[in-house]
A = this chain, B = another copy of it.
Amino acid sequence: MKYFEEIQVGDTMMVGRHTFTADEIKAFARRFDPQLFHLDDAAAERSHFGALCASGWHTAVVWMRLMVDYRRAMAEAAHARGEPVAGIGPALGFRELKWLKPVYVGDTIEYQSEVTELRPSNSRPRSGLMSIRSTGVNQNGEPVISFVSTTFVERRPERP
């Protein structure tokens, strides 16, 4: 991750993509969102969704997983170039989370995040606060999820 001073509003991150299988949709739902349209094909066909689809929370946490992997890959690449890596986190929360379309079995969701706001932190002067808008888009180009999250990002250390 870059230092806070090196980030600009409008910077984008191609976070990654994921294809949702029936097995993992059902496994997530059994544990965290056991509504029939996430668990049972026949019941899902009769529901307002029309077919088995992923829990909205599942669509959100897959973004988290891909973002952790993305940051790790960026950090490893920076280390390999001999560059420093800024600390990131913790996250304060998110806002405006919208589930725009269902995610059906076999859908491939591509997640992208864009920096929307940068501001100083009063509580942690060695960090800044970065807000990003993250979106997931399916293979037909339709947005399925969108939200804004805010995270601490380390400032560049002052030279001694």
Instruction: Write the residues of chain A forming the contact surface with B, with a CB cutoff of 8 angstroms.
Output: 31-35, 48-49, 55-57, 60-62, 64-65, 68, 89-99, 147
Q: Is B34 a contact partner of A68 (Cβ separation < 8 A)?
A: yes
The majority secondary structure among interface residues of chain A is mixed
Is the Cβ of A90 less than 8 Å from the Cβ of B48?
A: yes
A sample of 12 inter-chain contacts (CB < 8 A) reads A33-B68, A35-B89, A55-B64, A56-B93, A57-B57, A57-B64, A92-B99, A93-B98, A93-B147, A94-B97, A94-B147, A97-B97
> How far, in Å, is A160 (CB) from chain B's closest CB?
24
Residue of B nearest to A100 (CB): B93
Asked if B99 and A33 sit within 8 Å, CB to CB, the answer is no
Query: Cα distance A48–B88 when bound, in Å?
Result: 11
**B residues within 8 A CB of A31?**
65
Contact B61 A32 (CB under 8 A): yes
A92 to chain B, nearest CB (A): 7
Closest residue of B by beta carbon distance from A67: B33
